[in-house]
Every structure is written in structure tokens, then in C-alpha cells.
Structure 1
């Protein structure tokens, strides 16, 4: 049975994440200290002993989750048959699979976080989780609302996150409730991720991704924008650039992996959100979450 590594995105962070790796694995400590140098501030201080509010800042959260996931994967030292990541987690997957170096991956993640933060401040928006409706129904609701609101995260059957301008998201939530949604819950995020409102961030990140040296990964990466496995560096780059304004097709990724004979999944990094989502796609899938060795 084939085995995949999967990597969480923003929202999985928790104070204390990665500290045991830093304390107990010398090679991991070296990478954390290298990250402090690259970022220009001691992100490890915030990760290990900061406040939840400090860790929640996008400029901190994204590199923090990336670092925990990638350094754990390197410490485990196992080559998976495939890899995938949810939103930000796609960068972790690419580094773990050798498509990007640790240093280049961290620089891109930091640039992505800052660009997304700036886009959020320039065009405030929001996101909401719609539970208990078919994907097509939610898509039709978004299309019927005035203003920008789109399907952003296909997390699992019956759970789709929408994203866009605040008023349009609110209107879509009301329509979803009227259509029989079990819940339509606004999420505590600072902006409209994976929506057209992220276009300024996409443009800013595009040049950095184009200039970064990508290699052929050791295994296929199932990417967010099309849920297909990729190994060609040029295609991986194009999909990564498109990712900021396109939806995360996680349900489709898991189904594609299962169809390709992958039956074992290890979630690497903080939390166990992906473990739960994979089980909702297929209750028979063998899934584990690891946050330390």
C-alpha cells in the first residue's frame, strides 16, 4: 500500500509547536536557528513561548507551520510515495519532497505571508465554513450573490469554505442557511484567502516563485489547484502561482490519491485537522498525525 505525507496549513498552529524537536534533535535545532537568521527575527521564541495572539499574525503563522512540518519531515527521513499540503502546506510538501530547498521554501513562505497580509489590509474580506450542503449548491449560492464570494476550500464532503468580500460572504451564509445548511460559520481569519481579493498577493508572489530554483521532486505532489499529481518543475510553479486566488481542492486531492492506490497518510506538523478530513472522505483510510518524532 502506498504512503503519503500530508501537511497542514494556516490555522493548525499552537504555542509550543516544534519545541521538542528543537530541544532533542541537533539537526532540527540548526534548521530552526537558520530560519531565525533568514527571517530576521526569532520566530522560535514566538513558536515555543509566545502568546496565541502573537502566533496568529499571518507573517508569523505561515512560516511557523511550515517550519514545524518541514523540520519534522526531515527528522523522520522517510521518502513518501506522494505528498500534498493544504494551502500553505503545499510549500511544506514541496520542500519535504525535494522540489525546493529549505531556505528557498522558507523565503517564499515568508514573502507569501507578507503579501497576503498586505492584501488583507488593502481589501478587507472574510471566510465562512458551510456545513451540510452539496458543493454544487454552495457554488450556486455564491454565484447568485452580489459582490465577490467564491468557494475557497473543498475540505471534505459536506464542508466547503467560502471566501470574499465581507458583505457578500454574509449574504451567502444567509442563503446557505435558508437552503438547509447545518451551519454557516464565519471564520476568525483576517482576509479572503483563495479568492480574487488575493490577486495583489498573487502578483507579488509570482515573480519570487518564477525566480526560485525548483527541482524535480522525489515523489508526485498532488497540487491544490487541480488535485492532480505533478513532478514537472514548470507545471508545479504555475500551479503554485495560481494557488493564492484558486480554491483548495482537498476533497478531490484525497480522492485522487486513494484512486492511485495510496491508502496510508501521515499528517506532519501541528494539529490533526487533515487526519479528520481524510477520514470524512474515506473512513477506511489509514491515517496518523505526527507532531514530533
Structure 2
């Protein structure tokens, strides 16, 4: 195990039309994408999805594609690098994390991501017009209390005064108006469901059944549970916390703190996007952290990491 090296796996929000370009430019990456059968996995061509923002940010495509690109990138990189000491995933990225840790194959994780997205989308039948909203500039405890008054929830905690709120769209807008009066910054995110809130309750049972049906392997390295920031090493805990995060707040700030507490000095975000590496650098500036998305080639990623890990 390489002490001090962590892998971060992003959630939704950073996907873009070129998110597979580094992989397509790499011979090994091309082979892995063929193994993931992305060309025929969906009900329309992959490039059509990538170049249509409405499709690319729809859960049914976004969640499996984010898992697919993260795991494909890691498979290209992993043979050139020491194994990580920790892996952490943000929202759907937690499935990617278990793939990185060897508990799931690529296709198992991608299939599970697609099922997860379908179960979450089905929750809209019982509670339509949901969403997520970023909030910054007001202490998180004060925001949580205000959200509760409006029937909304804290979905993800990212810092002392930054978080993601989830709930019905009208409730979020009402909360936003009051928050902005307090000096907060708010912004509606391109996600049409209230992930990590009680509005996902109807997805819990079928997703738990899907997890139980999988031949989960024991993680080869520690995976941080999003709901707590605690290390997961065993299969029952992995299944339990993956299901729990559907309806419970993600404590991403705790995951970042866990990286620092366990002596992580270098971290790599698998992409797409670079939000996690930016947040980690801001919270713990002593940790060197970059995203695959920062580089022009996967070989460049390897060279950077080797220079930091040697």
C-alpha cells in the first residue's frame, strides 16, 4: 500500500462532451471503452448523448457515464502507479470508488449506476419537481435550520459555510429567497432529483436489493463512506453505506478531513471535472491534488503522479 496517495471519484456536474477524449486517444483506453460496451449500452449513440446537454445531464445517462469514464481512466493508470491508501467518491462517485478498490468490475459498477439512476428517477412519480441547489456564505447549521422550515434538506456538506441543498423545486426557491436576504450565494444545479434526502426513500428498497444481488468483493484498499467519512473495509458495511447515502446527507467535508488525518499528501481526481481536487486544495492546501481533466494525456497524469510519489 502506498501511504499518502488517495484517489477521488467525482459525482454529477462536471460531465462535458469531451469527457472521453483522453481515453479515446489512448490505445489501452480504447480497449477498455470497448469492454464497457458504451457504444451499445444506451438507447442512442454515445456521441449523441455527449453533445446534447439535456441528455448528458439526465440521470439515466449521467450516472453510468461518470462511473464508466472514471473506472476506464483508473484502469489505464493503475498499472503504472502504486495502489492508493484511500479512495473516496462523491455521490455516484462512491460506486466508482468501489470499482477502483476492486470490489466491483467496471460493468458491474456501470450497471449498478444505471439501476440507481432509474430508481432515483422513479421517485419523481411520488414527489415531482425536485432538485439540488448550491448554498455558500452562511454557516451550515444556520442553513440547515432554514431549509427545514421550508421543507428542504441538506444533501451534501462541503464546508463550514458551503453545502448542497435538496428538495422540491418550489421549496428550494423559497429557501433561496430567504438565504439571499442573509447574504448567501445560491444556484440551482443541473440535477433533476433531490439526491441524498428523504425524497429518495422509494429508491432505497430496490437499490438495496440490487446491491445484495451483486457478487461484491472485499475492497483491496480503504473506501471512505460518504455518509460519515469513515473507512470501509468489509462487504456488509459497503452495501449498507452505499444504500444509506441515497436518503442521508453526504459528509464530503468529513471525507476531505479523513484524507488529511490519514496522512494523504497526494490525491488524484479521476474526472470528469475538477471540483473535488479544487475543494480539497482549498480545505487542505498541503495536499497536492489534481484532476485527470487537468492533463492533455493519460501519460501526463502518470508522469505527474510519479514525480510526486517517488
- Provide TM-score, normalisation by structure 2: 0.87
Contact 1:36 1:42 in 2 (8 A): no
Q: Which residue number in structure 1 is paired with residue 260 of structure 2?
A: 258
Distance in 1 (CA, whole Å) between partners of 2:90 and 2:267 is 14
Which stretch of the first structure deviates more once superposed, 243-252 or 51-60? 51-60
Contact 1:157 1:281 in 2 (8 A): no
Distance in 2 (CA, whole Å) between partners of 1:191 and 1:264 is 33
Which stretch of the first structure deviates more once superposed, 160-169 or 226-235? 160-169
Deviation per CA, 1:172-195: give whole Å up to 9, x if none.
2223223332x1222232121111
Q: Which residue number in structure 1 is paired with residue 301 of structure 2?
A: none
The DSSP-based 3-state class of the residue aligned with 1:177 is: helix
Q: Which residue number in structure 1 is paired with residue 145 of structure 2?
A: 140
Alignment RMSD (CA, Å): 1.9
Deviation per CA, 1:263-293: give whole Å up to 9, x if none.
2111012111111111221222211111351
For residue 117 of structure 1, the aligned residue among 109, 113, 121 is 121
1:36 is displaced (CA, Å) by 2.6
1:115 is displaced (CA, Å) by 1.6
Distance in 2 (CA, whole Å) between partners of 1:95 and 1:43 is 25
Q: Write out the 4+ residue segments of structure 1 that deviate beyond 3 Å after TM superposition.
A: 40-44
Deviation per CA, 1:26-57: give whole Å up to 9, x if none.
3x32332233378354664346x532232122
1:99 is displaced (CA, Å) by 1.2
Distance in 2 (CA, whole Å) between partners of 1:216 and 1:177 is 46
Contact 1:36 1:44 in 2 (8 A): no
Distance in 2 (CA, whole Å) between partners of 1:217 and 1:176 is 41
For residue 234 of structure 2, the aligned residue among 201, 208, 232 is 232
Structure 2, unmatched stretches of 5+, are 299-310
The DSSP-based 3-state class of the residue aligned with 1:184 is: strand
Q: Which residue number in structure 2 is paired with residue 54 of structure 1?
A: 55
For residues 184 and 80 of structure 1, do their structure 2 counterparts lie closer, same or farther at Cα, with a shift above 3 Å needed? same
Q: Which residue number in structure 2 is paired with residue 198 of structure 1?
A: 200
For residues 46 and 80 of structure 1, do their structure 2 counterparts lie closer, same or farther at Cα, with a shift above 3 Å needed? farther
Distance in 1 (CA, whole Å) between partners of 2:42 and 2:169 is 34
Deviation per CA, 1:229-276: give whole Å up to 9, x if none.
111111010000111111111111101121111121110121111111
Structure 1, unmatched stretches of 5+, are none
For residue 153 of structure 2, the aligned residue among 150, 153, 164 is 150
1:69 is displaced (CA, Å) by 0.6
Which stretch of the first structure deviates more once superposed, 231-240 or 282-291? 282-291
